[in-house]
Structure 1
Amino acid sequence: MNTNEQVITSPEGVAGQHTNHLMESSILPVRHQRRTIGAWGFVWIWVGIAVIIATFQLGANGVTGLPLWQVILTILIANVILASLMTLTADIGTEHGLSFSVYLRAPFGVYGTHIPSIFRGLIAAVWFGIQTYLGALALNGIVEYLTGFSSWPLWYLVFALVQVANTALGIKSVERLAAIAAPAIMAISVWMYFTLDVLAQTQGINIWTFVGEADVSILTLFLANVAFWSTLAIDIPNITRYVKTTPGARGFVARNRNIFLAQLVALPVTQAWIALIGAVSFIAAGDWNPITVIQGQSEGFSLIVLLVLVILAQWSTNNAANLIPASLAFVNAGAPYIKYPVAVFIAGVVGTLSMPWAILDNLFAFLFSYGSFLSAIGGIMIADYFILRNRRLNVPELYSTQGQFRYYKGVNPAGLIAWLAAGVLAFFSGIWAFVVGLFAGMFIYWLLMIVWILRYYPQKDIENKQGEHYLGTSSAINWHYNKSLKSFQRVPSDEQ
C-alpha cells in the first residue's frame, strides 16, 4: 500500500466507550497547513523567552569569581550545547505535530502521562505567577510615577488577565506579540548596558578587567547554565509543532531548518547578552538586578522605558514558556471537558495561588528542586523517540485507551520507575544534576523497556522501525482526525 493512501484507525472503536478522555481539539496533531511560524517568527519567540529575571543573576554569580569574558563565553557555549539537545526533542513537534503531554503517552502510558506532564504544568504555572508579579511591579512603578497611585495587587490582576487573554487566542497571537516585544527588548537592553557601563566608569571600574574574589569555577557556571532551560528542553514540541517544515523532508537538518536559527543562535546569544547585563550591574553597583539599579537613578522617560522592558519581557516569556505548556498539560488531563482557553485561565489561577512573591525569595532553590526531575524526563523522551522507536510513532493509538500505549492499566512502569530513579539520583548529584538526570533517565528507561516491558506489551512502531507507516513529515503525511467518522486518517500533506 502506498504510504500516502488513506488509512483509518478509530480510537473510539478500539476503546469501546462513548467519551474519549484522551481527545480534545487543541491536543490533536497539528497539520502542516496550520504550521505557520517561520524561522524569524521562532527567533522572536526565543528572544522573548530568554529575557527573564534569573538570567541577570546567573551572569552576576559568575562575575563574582571569573573575568567577564569568561563568564559570557561559558554561558554562550553552555547554551549552544543545551540548544543542540533541545533540537532532538523539538523533532517530535516537527515530525508528528504533537504536544509534549500527548507524546508522553508513549513512554509513560495514556494515563501515566498525567504524572510528569502535570508536574511540568504546575512548574510552568508557578513561573507564570513569578513573571506576572515582576511585570505587575513594573506596571505599578509606571502608574505610581505618573499619578502617585500605588497598588501592585491590582496591576497583578490586570496583567494576568491580559496575558491569559492573549495566550488563549492561540499561537498566532503569541507570535505577533513576540515580533513586537523581542526587538523592543533588545533595543532597551542595549541602552541598559551602556547606562551601567557609564556608571562603572564613573567609579573608575573597567568592567572587562574586573575580577571578583568569590570561589566560582567555570565548570559550576557551565553546568548551572546547561540546567537553566531544562523546562523547555522537554516541552519544546508544544511550540515546534507550529513551526513551518517541508513535507517529505527526510533529513533531520532539512526537517528542522526553521528551528536552528532560533535555538542555536537566538537563545545562546540572547542568554549570554542578558547575563552580561546582570554581570555589569553587579560590577557597577553590587546588585545583580539592573532594573533595581537603574530605576534608583532614573526618572522621567528613561524610567518608563526601563519598566516597559520589564513588562514586555515577562509577557513574552509567559506566553510561550509558561502558559502554553501549563494549559496543554491541563487539557491533556481534563480532556474532553477542559478546553484550551479554560486551561489557560486555570494556569493563571494556579500560578497566582502559588504565591510567587514568596517563591522569588528562594528562586534558585526552586530551580534546582524541579530541574533534577525534568532532566530525567528529557532523557526518557530521547531514549523512547530516537533509540527505541527511531522517530516512528503509532499516533492514532496515543488517543486510544485500549491501544498499545495502555501498558498496565494505562501506565508504563518503565517510564515512571526511570523517571523517579533518575530524578532522585539527579537531585543528590549537586551541580551535575542535569547531566546525571538526563543520562540516567535515558539508560534506565531503555534497559527496562528492552528486558521487561516490550516482552509483555508489544509496540507496533518499535517492531516496524524501518517502515514509512509511522512517520509524519518525513513521509509528507498528516495524521488528521475526522470528527464525523471518529477516526484518524493518514492523508497527504498537500490535501486540505
Structure 2
Amino acid sequence: MKKSHLKSADLLPILHKDRKVTKLGFSFMWVGMCVVLAAFAIGGAGVMSLSLPMVILATVIGSLAIGFFISLIADIGIEHGLSFPVYMRAPFGTIGTHIPSVTRGITASMWFGINTYFGATAMNGILNILFSFDNWFVCFLIFAIVQLINTALGIKSIERFADMAAPIIILISLWMYSSLSDQAAAAGRDIWSWAESPVTGVAAFSAFLVVIFSNMGFWATLSADIPTISRFIKAPANEKNWFKRNKSSLIGNMIAMPLTQTFMIIIGAVAYIAVLNYDPVVALQKSAGGFFLAILLLMIVLAQWSTNTAANVVPAATIFSNVGGPKFPFWAGVITAGIVGTIVQPWTLFDVIIPILLFVGGILSAIVGILFADYYLIRKRRVNVPDLYENHGQFKYMGGINLAGFIAWIVGGGASFFVPNYGFLVGFFAGAGLYYVLAKYWWFKKYPQAEIEDPSDEKYLGISVGRDWVIDENAFETAIVEIPNNVDLY
C-alpha cells in the first residue's frame, strides 16, 4: 500500500465553490498579459512592409483565431477543474506527461526571466528619475521576488493585482499612443499610410499572413496550458450549452485579448513609424522626461508583473509541482520557475532567447492539436478523472507512456519547424490528425478507455452535469504483487 505520486494537493480538480475568478477579472488578466515587448515587435515588423490598417486587420484576424483555440482548450479546466499537466496524462501517459509539460514549463520560466528583465529596466528608470538610483540587477532581483510572492499567494491574489493594474495600463497606453502619434507627425510620417518598404501583390499577401500567424504563434504556449488558469474561472453548474458554460472564458479570449493585443500592436507600429524602433520606451524617451517618463515606465512594470504571474509563473509552477509530486507543493514550483528564469541570464541572452522561445511555441502548437483531438474528437469531453490520479489506472498505458501522443507530437512539431511563419496551424492540424488516427485505431485498441467504451454523461462529465470531481489525496492505492505458488492462502 502506497500513496499515489500523482495526488498532489495543488493539482487536484478545483471544486465549483472554489472557482473565484470573475469574467471581469479574467479580462483584466488579459489586459496585462498582452503588454509585452514581443507584441510591440510584431507591430514594428508589420509596418516595415504594410500600412498600419493592414497590420491591424491581420492582428484582429490572428487574435480572434488564437482566442478561439484558447477557448476550446480552456473548457478542459472549466468542465473538469483540471490543470494542463494533469490532463496531459490522458494523451501522453502518467509518466509521459512530464516531457512535453516540462518543455512548456521551462519556456514559461524563460519568458518570466525576459519580462522581469524588461520590467526591471523600467523600474530602474523610475528610481533613477526619482532618487538617482541606478542598479538594474538589484531591481531585477527585487522585481522577481515580488512577482513570485504574489503568485505563491494564489490565483485570487493574481486577479486582485490585475484588477488594480489593468485600468492604469489602459490609461497610460492611451497616453503612449497619443504621444507617439505626435512624434510620428513631427517626423512628417502619416501613421495610417506610412510603410518603410511598402510591398504589393503576392509579397503583400505573404506579409499579411506573417502578421496573422505571428499573433497566433505568440500565444500558442498559453493556448496549450490555459486549463491551468481556466479551472479557476467561475462557471454555471448543470449547464450543457458549451457557449453559456464558457461565457467568462470567451469574453476574455475573444474580446479582451484581441482588443488589447491589437492596441499593443498599434503602439509598437506607431513607435517604429516615429523613431524606427518598436520599443515604445525607447521611442518616448526621446520626447518624454521626468515625471511623465516615470509614469510610462510604471506602466511597463505593472504590465510585466501582470503578464508574468498569470501567463508564465502559474503554468510553470503547476508543471514543476506535477513533476515533483505531493512533496513538491505549488510554492516550490514558483521558486523553481524563478530560479530557471534567472539562470538563463535573459539580460545577456535576450536576442537568442526570443527566437528560441518562438520556435518552441511552434512545437507546442502540436500539443494544442493533440489536446483538441483527445478531448473533443475521441473522448467527446468525457474524462475518467479519478484514473488520472492513479499510478495503475487506465492512463498508465505502456510504462506510463502513450506512444500515440509522442509520435503525433514529434511529427506535428517537426512539421511546424519547416514552415515557421505558419507553424501554429501546421503543427495543430498535423498533431491533431495524426493523434486521432493513432489513438483511435491503434493505441486505444490496446489500452481501452472507460469513457470511450461507455460514453456516459453522468459518469464522465463534470460541472455541466453538476459534478465536482473529489479526489482523496490521502487515499492509498493497492500495489499489485505476485503471490508465490508455494504459499497457502486462508
Same fold flag (TM > 0.5): yes
| Equivalent residue, structure 1, for 2:303 | 313
Matched, 1:384 2:374: yes
Alignment of 1:21-32 (within 5 A): 21-32=5-16
Pairwise CA distance, 1:67: 1.0
**Who is 1:276 aligned against?**
266
Q: Distance in 2 between matches of 1:78 and 1:221?
A: 8
Q: How big is each residue's C-alpha offset from its partner over 1:137-159, in whole Å with a ceiling of 9 and x where there is no partner?
A: 11111112222221111111100
Any conservation in 1 of the 2:7–2:473 contact (CA below 8 Å)?
no
Q: Report 1:5-20 matches (<5 A).
A: 17-20=1-4
Distance in 1 between residues matched to 2:5 and 2:65, nearest whole Å? 38
Q: Which residue pairs with 1:100 in the alignment?
A: 84
Query: Residue 31 and residue 315 in structure 1: after superposition, are their counterparts in 2 closer, same or farther (change >3 A)?
Result: same
Q: Secondary structure at the match of 1:64?
A: coil
Q: Percent identity?
A: 43
Cα deviation, 1:299-357, whole Å, max 9, x if unaligned, reads 22101101101100100000000000000000000011111111101100010011112
Counterpart selection for 1:451 from 434, 441, 454 = 441
Between the aligned partners of 1:65 and 1:251, the Cα distance in structure 2 is 44
Amino acid at match of 1:162: V
Count of matched residue positions in the alignment of Structure 1 and Structure 2 = 471
Instruction: Give the 3-state SS of the residue equivalent to 2:457 in structure 1.
Output: coil
Which runs of structure 2 are paired with 1:250-261 in the superposition (5 Å)? 250-261=240-251
Structure 1: state its 5+ residue gaps: 1-16, 488-496
Instruction: Give, in whole Å, the separation in 2 of the partners of 1:343 and 1:367.
Output: 20
Number of the residue aligned with 2:466: 476
Change (3 A) 1:224 1:484: closer
* C-alpha distance in structure 1 between counterparts of 2:453 and 2:112, whole Å: 41
Matches of 1:24 and 1:434 in 2, distance apart?
Answer: 32
User: What is aligned with 1:72?
Assistant: 56
Match of 1:173 among 140, 157, 180: 157
In 2, Cα distance between equivalents of 1:483 and 1:193: 51
Tell me the CA shift for residue 51 of structure 1.
Answer: 0.9
Tell me which amino acid in the other structure corresponds to 2:4: N
CA displacement at 1:112 relative to structure 2: 0.3
Report if aligned partners of 1:359, 1:366 keep a CA contact under 8 Å in 2.
no
Q: Secondary structure at the match of 2:468?
A: strand
Tell me the alpha carbon deviations over residues 84-133 of structure 1, each in whole angstroms, 9 at most, x when there is no partner: 11111000010000000000000000010000000000000000000111
How many angstroms does 1:291 deviate by?
0.8
Task: Give CA-to-partner distance per residue, 1:272-306, whole Å, 9 cap, x none.
Answer: 00000110011111111111111233222101101
Residue 481 (structure 2) aligns with: none
After superposition, the C-alpha distances for 1:454-494 in whole angstroms (9 at most, x for unaligned) are 1210100111224321000111010112356569xxxxxxx
Q: Give the match for residue 44 of structure 2.
A: 60
Q: In the alignment, what sits opposite 1:195? A: 179
Structure 1: how far apart are the matches of 2:345 and 2:353?
Answer: 13
- Label 1:237 to 1:64 Cα distance change in 2 as closer, same or farther (>3 A): same
Is 1:349 matched up with 2:339? yes
Q: Does 1:294 pair with 2:284?
A: yes
Q: 1:303 corresponds to which letter in structure 2?
A: L
Cα distance in 1 for residues equivalent to 2:164 and 2:145:
19
Distance in 1 between the 2:40 and 2:400 partners? 43
Question: Which whole-Å CA distance do the structure 2 matches of 1:419 and 1:404 have between them?
Answer: 21
Aligned amino acid, residue 144 of structure 1: N
User: What's the TM-score once normalised by structure 2's chain length?
Assistant: 0.94
Amino acid at match of 2:355: A
- Amino acid aligned to 1:126: M
* Alignment match of 2:144 (pick from 157, 160, 165): 160
User: Alignment partner of 1:330: what SS?
Assistant: helix
User: Contact 1:178/1:316 (CA < 8 Å) preserved in 2?
Assistant: yes
Matches within 5 A, 1:226-265: 226-265=216-255
Distance in 2 separating the partners of 1:229 and 1:100: 15
Query: Counterpart of 2:392?
Result: 402
Cα distance per residue 1:31-79 (max 9 Å; x no partner): 0000011111111011111111110110111111111111111101110
Determine whether 1:115 maps to 2:99.
yes
Look up the match of 1:494. none
Q: For residues 420 and 106 of structure 2, what CA distance do their matches in structure 1 show?
A: 23
Q: CA RMSD in A?
A: 1.3
State how far apart, in whole Å, the 2-side matches of 1:219 and 1:347 are.
34
Q: Residues 220 and 473 from structure 1, CA distance in 2 versus in 1: closer, same or farther, beyond 3 angstroms?
A: same
Matched with 1:136 is 120
Candidates 116, 119, 133, aligned match of 1:149? 133
- Which residue does the alignment assign to 1:431? 421
Separation in 1, partners of 2:340, 2:216: 28
Give the secondary structure class of the aligned counterpart of 2:395. helix
Give the CA deviation at 1:362.
3.2
The Cα shift of 1:214 comes to: 5.2
| 1:361 CA drift (Å) | 1.5
Change (3 A) 1:413 1:88: same
Secondary structure of 1:469 counterpart: helix
1:417 aligns with 2:401: no
Question: What CA distance in whole angstroms lies between the structure 1 residues aligned with 2:154 and 2:354?
Answer: 31
Call closer, same or farther: CA 1:433–1:485 in 2, change over 3 Å.
closer
Greater mean alpha carbon deviation, residues 255-264 or residues 97-106: 255-264
SS in 2 for 1:43: helix
Instruction: Give, as a single letter, the amino acid of the residue that structure 1 aligns with 2:299.
Output: L
Aligned partners of 1:437 and 1:221: how far apart in 2? Answer: 17
Query: How far did residue 360 of structure 1 move?
Result: 2.0
CA–CA distance in structure 1, aligned partners of residues 352 and 53 of structure 2:
28
Aligned mates of 1:319, 1:37 — CA distance in 2: 14
Q: Distance in 2 between matches of 1:272 and 1:483?
A: 44
Q: Find the aligned partners of 2:423 and 2:251 in 1 and give their Cα distance.
A: 28
Counterparts of 2:358 and 2:107, CA distance in 1: 12
Mapped partners of 2:93, 2:372: distance in 1? 16
> Partner of 2:380: helix, strand, or coil?
coil
Residue 439 of structure 1 aligns to which amino acid in structure 2?
F
| 1:411 maps to amino acid | I
Q: CA deviation at 1:368?
A: 3.1
CA contact 1:372–1:424 (8 Å) conserved in 2:
no
5+ residue gaps, structure 2, are 478-490
DSSP 3-state at the match of 2:461: coil
Aligned AA (1:428): F
- Contact kept? 1:23, 1:335, Cα under 8 Å: yes
Partners of 1:219 and 1:300 lie apart in 2 by 40
